Amino acid sequence: MESYTRKYPLFSLCGLNCGLCPRYHTKGTSKCPGCGGVATAPYKFVAHCGVNSCAKRHSGVEYCYLCEEYPCKKYYDSEKIHDSFITKQRQLADFQKVKEIGLAAYQAELDEKVGILERLLADFDDGRRKSFFCLAVNLLELAYVKDVMAQLKEEINVDATSKEKAGLAVSLFRKKADERKVQLELRK
């Protein structure tokens, strides 16, 4: 099989935010390098996806939204699509946002979200919250994620345990999500 690489593996061909996926932030050998990312030792995982070959058949588009057939049957009934490690709930909305603000601006926002997620995982994960933080940062707009981070900075007790820090972060994200009518759940 021919190697598939992309310049920016954090945002997938089909519109997933790979940089906000728990598999991207895994420390073990099953760490995913993102869409078209290069797995380096000791990591062995490389995702294989039928969208890659579809893109090749359609003039090698860099993103599905650039295809003349977009949105195709892959995106119909997106509300009924089940999630695995990363939510697919925002694929269409994220592609629309790329069209509105441009790819470079979208990638800059995604880079900022990935940085925030890395801080959350380093400072607020009690070993059980990675998937939740990935989901919250992915589904909430950047401004709201920044609001939660500012609240955490104000409200956190420096002597708090990792469990207390995680609990506060989860509580603030849930409150923000409820205000925005965003459901912080994967569709199983």
Query: What are the residue boundaries of the structural domains of the chain, listed by start?
Result: 1-101, 102-183
Q: How far apart are the first and last CA of the chain?
A: 31
Instruction: Note the pTM of the prediction, 2 decimals.
Output: 0.91
pLDDT higher than threshold 60 for residue 2: no
What is the pLDDT at residue 1?
Answer: 40
137-174: per-residue pLDDT in tens? 999 999 999 999 999 999 998 899 999 999 999 999 99
Q: Burial, 186: exposed, middle or buried (Cβ in 10 Å; 0-12, 13-18, 19+)?
A: middle
Please give the helix or strand (H or E) that residue 76 lies within, else none: none
43-87: per-residue pLDDT in tens? 555 566 778 888 888 888 999 999 999 988 887 766 666 777 788
22-33: per-residue pLDDT in tens? 999 998 888 888
